Structure 1
């Protein structure tokens, strides 16, 4: 859309006059009282108990057991299935106001359709009750990269329209049983990355790919399947949202949305073709989902470049998808610099990366010249973009965190500085009119990372996976976040100030 292009160019041109460095000192009281701060995990990454109490296999069980995660899997993970009471108490000690987690479709309805597993139902009721009784808001995601293997085997999962019906029935079970205590529902986590990793490159389940994108998959079509899966995901999200709004919302008074992964893209140079390429990257990353949700159709540039490979909405479908959310959620970690590479459009067979016609992969990996950046102001610019391009919808930051190697060092100063910088940038965005409603640090615990197994870490709390008791140990970032959440009316200027005051925090206080 021409108007959105003008907005994007305006943001780039005026970036120097926007306060984007973040605030140095701030406190919890600088944020609105109804703004919520929390942390998050997902079912396969923390629950464990993969073969207990009637849980069925998910696509992640099949994938991790194939040995493609360096021998790591989520069979035990953090064992939150058995340790949820201790973990909720740890959340209370930390000062979390909300906990974002996902429901395992495979635990609740093992075959994806049919009978509900009473043990799975009991577990999620227990977890939600424990959170609610301790004053912690449950924010629930229905699909966090995993779905029952039975549905992949039966009809190909998200490549089939049957998934819309089964996902809606699964959501109905969740709304009916948990909606009296859950006010915030997210249908899909990182829908755009889920289809890219699972249906284009195939390096994550359900492992669909074809050349040129991937060569190690036994099935798939990288040129068409990401777009087909996305189409069905959008229809399923809209179906679930309509179900909630028509059947449950008046009684339960909750909200429903969808989660997207987002980089903030900047042109590598000020050349016109690079500026246009950065805008195109935003359309393919964010507009792919946000345009149908806000405007009822895919971005014009996608329709132009993809032709018949991009599914078309009927009028009924367009109206169903348009406006089918109460909030949008974003997972944000950093920025990427984009270079135009329109030569990719001449490829005989194109995948999603080639369709974008940008230099992305090489630049992302070119850390030595700082083409990939975790500067906090990128988050502020991303929120400004949503304000200008999509009418300033309610937004939750569902994931924001810094990766480190998984080791026993509890002195994670870089993570402290990362969190301090990004929360400060978020405060700037709010002061500039952003309609952001909450922030969730990723992740609460060191867990099974979907991009690195147990080799990488984002957690506030360290877990030695070789320890039979899986003891949770607070890192410096846990102390900092707790200090920020609990110390009302006192400015936080990050690591330096906290370092001088750690005497008031003891590792014993947080240890379980």
Structure 2
């Protein structure tokens, strides 16, 4: 999140209690990219990047009434997109929704728990005002995060969950709400794609897609059929099959039952092949472990419905959200990666196990399972282990991470004939990383949050040299 101050017209990420954010701070200012946009555009130009991916906060677009009166900044944002990115070779990739439901809509309707929010005409505003400049559209970014984490966990906005950790007393039903939010996001996506294709695409000449959470899953126990099945189930849940084939996977229907909403025939047809390209955000891999058949959760929950427990590859702990398995000391995984892979435990954040082969496996799986879509890697990145500026800017771990992942992407193209049309690293600058606040630093540029000064990291110079060499 790179925003500037929105006053009373922000989102739950800005206005909800900071106890739910790891750094005990909020996103009032963040990197203030809205006001410091020209400097950031100069950075993009200096690096020689040809694509910049960004999103527009609904709070800046929708005319929502508040104590300050009616708030609309469509014209200001249009000026931002046109003037700031006047360098014509910068291709803009605009995401229409990245989790930030305006606080007014969250308070009035419960956000995406209501079809009134999912059915808003925000895309009409964006297509109409930005379509002459934007040729790559993404309807939703990581919708699973809003559905699952935002409605089963207390620290991701809006922080609704059934019982445990509900520090903000937001209420919730994690056996129902994640599926309702998923359903309404899918319908919103399908409606936006249909609108763009019917009214704007031929005239504006752009393409439209969706960006999904993605990682690769490995069975926890080698050769164990249950754990292998668990990995397959994790790959099956939740969004990819509906946007490709127009319906939820059979595994979801079987395991969730009547709590899973259903699509009408018309809705299913709109969802089917509802993307020109598929965006995949890949950072890490996880081990999967099938829950014992005899386990009965204390209450229905999205996180137990799959019957799968999973955890970071670099952790001895299963992060199962109702209880925790503590594994034996030493190396419980029985893995001995070859060559350079032995160093892949190095990451600056606990949930990220550096596993480059996973991106190649994921690309091949996606090609085979979903009819060879055109794929963009829309996020991929790592952060330094330290947050000290003088050490953080020398991010050799990030350089190795990116080079290794790109090698695996190219290998997937050569060996599996996967259709890859672009790669975007996360992110241009350090920023407010949602529930992690300012504790994560994924940027090409280090940000001093007191002065908002941008300082280039080593990886930024590698990117610049690569562009100059045409590689």
How high is the TM-score relative to the length of structure 1? Answer: 0.80
C-alpha contact (below 8 Å) 2:123/2:192 kept by paired residues: yes
Query: How many angstroms apart in 1 are the aligned matches of 2:279 and 2:145?
Result: 14
Per-residue deviation, 1:173: 0.4
What is the 5 A alignment of 1:202-221? 202-211=154-163, 217-221=169-173
2:52 is the alignment partner of 1:99: yes
1:155 aligned to 99, 102, 109, which one? 109
1:486 aligned to 463, 468, 471, which one? 468
Q: Deviations over 1:102-159 (max 9, x none)?
A: 001001115299x985534323432344324242111000111101111111111111
SS at match of 1:133: coil
Higher RCO structure, 1 or 2 (CA under 8 Å, sep 6+): 1
Q: What residue number does 2:445 align with?
A: 461
What is the 5 A alignment of 1:111-130? 111=64, 117=71, 119-130=73-84
Q: What residue number does 2:275 align with?
A: 325
Q: What residue number does 1:258 align with?
A: 210
Name the one with the larger helix percent: 1
Which is worse superposed, 60-69 or 448-457?
60-69
Structure 2 unpaired stretches of 5+: 318-329, 334-351
Per-residue deviation, 1:65: 5.0
2:370 aligned to 380, 387, 390, which one? 390
C-alpha contact (below 8 Å) 1:342/1:358 kept by paired residues: no
SS at match of 2:132: coil
Q: What residue number does 2:27 align with?
A: 74
2:296 aligned to 327, 330, 346, which one? 346
Per-residue deviation, 1:50: 2.5
Q: What residue number does 2:345 align with?
A: none
Q: Deviations over 1:145-181 (max 9, x none)?
A: 1011111111111111112321xx1110000000011
Q: Structure 1 residues 165 and 67, CA, compared in 2 at 3 Å: closer, same or farther?
A: closer
Per-residue deviation, 1:274: 0.9
Query: How many angstroms apart in 2 are the aligned matches of 1:148 and 1:262?
Result: 26
C-alpha contact (below 8 Å) 1:46/1:79 kept by paired residues: yes
Query: How many angstroms apart in 2 are the aligned matches of 1:181 and 1:112?
Result: 29
What is the 5 A alignment of 1:423-438? 423-431=406-414, 432-438=416-422
C-alpha contact (below 8 Å) 2:288/2:311 kept by paired residues: no
Structure 1 unpaired stretches of 5+: 1-44, 490-512
Q: Deviations over 1:73-108 (max 9, x none)?
A: 222211211111111111111111110000010011
What is the 5 A alignment of 1:133-152? 133-152=87-106
C-alpha contact (below 8 Å) 2:58/2:122 kept by paired residues: yes
Per-residue deviation, 1:193: 1.6
SS at match of 2:217: strand
2:298 is the alignment partner of 1:314: no
* Superposition CA RMSD, Å: 2.3
Query: How many angstroms apart in 1 are the aligned matches of 2:311 and 2:166?
Result: 14
Per-residue deviation, 1:465: 0.9
SS at match of 1:281: helix
C-alpha contact (below 8 Å) 2:180/2:261 kept by paired residues: yes
Aligned residue pairs total 434
2:147 is the alignment partner of 1:179: no
2:5 aligned to 31, 49, 69, which one? 49
2:293 is the alignment partner of 1:337: no
Q: What residue number does 1:38 align with?
A: none
2:145 aligned to 180, 193, 209, which one? 193
2:402 aligned to 419, 441, 445, which one? 419
C-alpha contact (below 8 Å) 2:161/2:172 kept by paired residues: yes
Q: What residue number does 1:399 align with?
A: 379
